Amino acid sequence: ADAPVIGLITKTETNPFFVKMKEGAAEAAKAKGAKLLSGAGKADGDNAGQITAIENMIAAGAKTILITPSDSKAIVPAIKKARALGVMVIALDSPTDPAEATDALFATDNYRAGVLIGQYAKAALGGKPAKIVMLDLFPGHPVGAQRHNGFLKGFGLAAPDAKSNELGKAPEIVCMADSFGDQAKGQTAMENCLQKAPEVTVVYTINEPAAAGAFNALKKAGKEQGAIIVSVDGGCQGIKDVGAGKIAATSQQYPLKMAAMGVEAGVEYAKSGKKVAGYTDTGVTLIAAKAVGGVDSKDVAAGTSLCWGKK
């Protein structure tokens, strides 16, 4: 029989997170003798691009599609169509809305990832006044909102719930700016925020490249000692930055694991026709160089050994 065809659709081509995910899937596919097709939106938020990728992969004979939805709601009708054609669809990294739209979900909870670093930042700050800079993704992105609101929640501030796409506000936030998850833009955003509010004690960043940019800006202003930077992702580079003291703590996720599990499920489906179902939390771990009281965290060594699901 032909090798089973499995499609993997990421949000973009370029985010190291998704590149890792693709690598994990490719390795697993090779090991299991499956053919992996990969596709992506042109940019984060490109729902139409993902729909096109789903259609083309089905046309190419894919029986299982793994997808990290760019837009949790907007992708649902296309997934419904695919499932109606007998294709098993598994969401990776983030759920669709409603979550039942896919057969299964292998993911991290982004809201929870935010909560963890929020708690850490609150504890690490101790008694100092909270003057928070929020370096978000870009307007309208659900993951951006989930991490942002989770952080506020963990920090003990009022925040919208996990489903909201609105960025929560609080008087403790002295500056909010978009980093586009990019180091150079993160740096620019942080520089401008420092002009607005020179006394910063906590910096929330959407991901580790943005955190690195924020650190650069702080360092240039000679303020890197005074502020705690927290972030999300737990990529190998990010963990290194935690070790180097640039980032205080980050919530680590496991894209390789998600992908490998997805491919295994796809091969199994091709063999036996058995579908997986339900939510499998691939877990979030808080990685911090210095543990603080009252918040569970693992150290850098543990983070490095696990970074992005390396086994």
Closest to other proteins by CB, 72 or 119: 72
CB of 311 to other proteins, least distance (A): 19
Give the pair of three-digit tokens for residue 143.
């993951």
Of the two residues 9 and 123, which places its CB atom closer to other proteins in the complex?
9
Which helix (H) or strand (E) segment is 263 a member of? helix 255-272
Choice between 162 and 291, CB closer to other proteins: 162
Q: Which helix (H) or strand (E) holds 220?
A: helix 208-220
Task: State which of positions 195-214 bind other proteins (CB under 8 A).
Answer: 195-196, 209, 212-213
Return the number of the residue (18 or 120) whose C-beta is nearest other proteins: 18
Half-sphere exposure of 221 (CA within 13 A, CB side): 23
**Nearest residue (CB) to other proteins, 177 versus 295:** 177
E-strand ranges in 71-182 read 88-93, 104-107, 132-136, 173-178
Binds other proteins (CB under 8 A): choice among 68, 149, 187, 250 = 187
> 22-55 b/e with 16+ CB inside 10 Å = b?
bbbbbebbeebebebbbbbbeebbbbebbbbbbe
Q: How many positions of this chain bind other proteins (CB under 8 A)?
A: 71
**Judged by CB under 8 A, which of 39, 118, 168, 266 binds other proteins?**
39
User: Interface with other proteins by CB under 8 A: which range of 34-42, 225-233, 249-257, 259-267?
Assistant: 34-42
Candidate residues 6, 24, 38, 229; the one interacting with other proteins per rule CB under 8 A: 38
Measured from the CB atom, the residue of 44 and 297 that comes closer to other proteins is: 44
**Nearest distance from C-beta of residue 305 to other proteins, angstroms:** 18
- Give whole-number Cα distances, 60 to 38, 81, 129, in Å: 11, 16, 57
- Contact segment (CB under 8 A) with other proteins among 112-120, 187-195, 199-207, 223-231 equals 187-195
Least distance to other proteins from the beta carbon of 90, Å? 18
Nearer to other proteins, 194 or 288 (CB): 194
Q: Quote the least distance from Cβ 21 to other proteins, whole Å.
A: 11
> Closer CB to other proteins, residue 195 or residue 305?
195
φ/ψ bin of 86: left (φ > 0), alpha (ψ from -120 to 50), beta (otherwise):
left
Identify residues 211-240 at the interface with other proteins (CB under 8 A): 212-213, 216, 220, 237, 240
Answer yes or no: are the C-beta atoms of 228 and 124 closer than 8 Å. Answer: yes
Distance CA 156, CA 129 (A): 13
CB atoms < 10 A from the CB of 175, how many?
19
Binders of other proteins in range 135-164 (CB under 8 A): 136, 138-142, 145
Residues 58-117 that bind other proteins (CB under 8 A): 59-61, 70-74, 76-78, 97
Whether 133 contacts 200, CB under 8 Å: yes
CA–CA separation, 179 and 165 (whole Å): 17
Lookup result for tokens 């081509």:
13
